[in-house]
Structure 1
Amino acid sequence: MGIAVNTVPEIQFEGVEMKYSTANAEVLALQQISMDIAQGEFVSLLGPSGCGKTTLLRLMADLIQPTAGEVKVAGKSAREARQAQKYGIVFQSPVLYEWRKVKSNITLPLELMGVKKNLREEKAARLLELVGLKGFEDKYPWQLSGGMQQRVAIARALAMEPEILLMDEPFSALDEFTRERLNEELLAIWSEVKNTVVFVTHSIPESIFLSDRVFVLSPHPGRLSAVVDIPLPRPRTPEMRGSAEFFELIARIRGSFEGV
């Protein structure tokens, strides 16, 4: 069973559409998306390249606005949620400042908010331990592996204690062994922080291993093809990836794509 979640939706999409204007015509990126994500839930947005996964994430974060429909976060607009700093975002690339050491990369959001130095130091120490980087605080990003750099990015996203963590294919550039290990580490972090996580991926096994539910998007234009519950018990273990139930879920999700 997944974790117990609040029945009040943390994120709501109602009839959301997204169109982009090009030189020749309007392009429909998302079509009639309606979905709810519960508080404290870990969900994945899964689909092929170009299906609108990142667009959905950007709509949640109020980085763009829908051309139709409505996005709500805890009953308020996405803009109000952004202004209330409810989000932390982890991108596909770590986007770290090469001239800042690990600790000062993590504390950057706190500095921008005017948090006192001693409080920043305390928060950084806790986050470094949480993401398994204690002892690396004085290293520069170029001295770290790709996986370690992404852990710094996760720590930075958690610095403001966001209610919602948005993750846009954060492990896609890593080798499979590192990716699987970071999946396990991410779940360990989430079990401590207990926030809502929306994770974008095009990997079916990754979405199953991480999530309470998987939202499957069809190829362009993006439509919600299926919502698949993941009944695997928590905590998740590496052995689950080889279980019959895991492979059954892979087959079920593959069959849920429109046109399959």
Structure 2
Amino acid sequence: MSLTASTVKHQVQTPEIQLKDVEMRYPTDTGDVLALHQVSLDIGKGEFVSLLGPSGCGKTTLLRLMADLIQPTSGSIHVAGKTAKEARLAQKYGIVFQSPVLYDWRKVKQNVALPLELVGVSKIERERKAIELLELVGLEKFADQYPWQLSGGMQQRAAIARALAMEPEILLMDEPFSALDEFTRERLNEELLSVWNNIQNTIVFVTHSIPESIFLSDRVFVLSPHPGRLSAVVEIPLPRPRTQEMRNSPAFFELIARIRDSFEGV
């Protein structure tokens, strides 16, 4: 049977993240600015989903709300059965930002081990864990290097390893590969899926790249231009493991067209 972009509606059996009627307003000198309007969604445990949309649509704001870095104006957010604040305090998630934010004066293994150091894990145990995580992202040979000695892609892999140090149930990723060239980005897409296949946690990935969202995700949440609304939820029925050959398949191009058509106001 040939693969097409259409599929049955996804049923979330075990919601890991739930947002209901989430709205976000920012006060300004000329009045409140509505950034997100009435966003409701469920993300299943162990799912890989992308938040996709044009610049300014509220993707990063939505991710920051899930992480309890900011609080919504209205609506509710539950993460791993807890409020977003409770989940943050329980260290239910790790975060990877656009920039790796590594400390240049610390070796790569020391950067990865930093979260463990902050909670009082012994030096021997945190070094063991750091090496294990660096092996997971293919950087074990660079454990004693400094961040400035690594390429941009390698630095971002080290940041991913650090985000996994506390064994989070959820990994929140804010356009982590956007500053990289296309060749490096596609390779890191594959490596991220390999990591995810090993740890089987829930990943929420912010991107403005339609092909990237399709290649990585089980589902893509499409946000409309400002103010951000949930414009569509697109199933990605491509089989796993994903391969680079899939990027040239008719099903892949059909999904690109379907997502483009789902944008409101573009």
Same fold (TM over 0.5): yes
Map 1:132-171; keep pairs closer than 5 Å.
132-171=138-177
Q: Which residue of 1 aligns with 2:112?
A: 106
CA–CA distance in structure 1, aligned partners of residues 243 and 147 of structure 2: 30
For structure 2, the residue ranges without an aligned partner over 5 or more in a row are: 1-6
Counterpart of 2:108, as a letter, is V
Render the CA deviation track for 1:23-71: whole Å, top value 9, x for unaligned. 1110000000000000000000000000000000000000001001000
Q: Which residue of 1 aligns with 2:78?
A: 72
Count of residue correspondences? 258
Given candidates 232, 235, 245, the residue that maps to 1:239 is 245
CA–CA distance in structure 2, aligned partners of residues 230 and 6 of structure 1: 14
Kindly indicate whether the alpha-carbon contact (under 8 Å) linking 1:89 and 1:167 is maintained by their aligned counterparts in 2: yes
CA–CA distance in structure 2, aligned partners of residues 66 and 198 of structure 1: 18
Question: Sequence identity of aligned pairs in percent?
Answer: 78
- Please list every run of at least 4 consecutive aligned residues from structure 1 whose deviation after the TM superposition is greater than 2 angstroms: none
The yes-or-no answer on 1:53 pairing with 2:84 is no
CA-atom RMSD, angstroms?
1.3
Q: Which residue of 2 aligns with 1:224?
A: 230
Kindly indicate whether the alpha-carbon contact (under 8 Å) linking 2:47 and 2:202 is maintained by their aligned counterparts in 1: yes
Render the CA deviation track for 1:142-171: whole Å, top value 9, x for unaligned. 000000000000000000000000000000
CA–CA distance in structure 2, aligned partners of residues 119 and 235 of structure 1: 33
- CA 55–138 in structure 1, closer or farther in 2 if over 3 Å, else same: same
Given candidates 84, 88, 93, the residue that maps to 2:94 is 88
Render the CA deviation track for 1:179-225: whole Å, top value 9, x for unaligned. 00000000000000100000000000000000000000000000000
Structure 1, 98-107 or 67-76: larger mean CA deviation: 67-76
Kindly indicate whether the alpha-carbon contact (under 8 Å) linking 1:92 and 1:170 is maintained by their aligned counterparts in 2: yes
CA–CA distance in structure 1, aligned partners of residues 175 and 79 of structure 2: 22
For structure 1, the residue ranges without an aligned partner over 5 or more in a row are: none
Map 1:125-204; keep pairs closer than 5 Å.
125-204=131-210
Tell me, what secondary structure is at the counterpart of 2:140?
coil
Q: TM-score, normalised by structure 1?
A: 0.97
Q: TM-score, normalised by structure 2?
A: 0.95
Counterpart of 2:246, as a letter, is M
Counterpart of 1:106, as a letter, is V
CA–CA distance in structure 2, aligned partners of residues 110 and 217 of structure 1: 35
Kindly indicate whether the alpha-carbon contact (under 8 Å) linking 1:6 and 1:40 is maintained by their aligned counterparts in 2: no
CA–CA distance in structure 2, aligned partners of residues 198 and 96 of structure 1: 22
CA–CA distance in structure 2, aligned partners of residues 77 and 89 of structure 1: 17
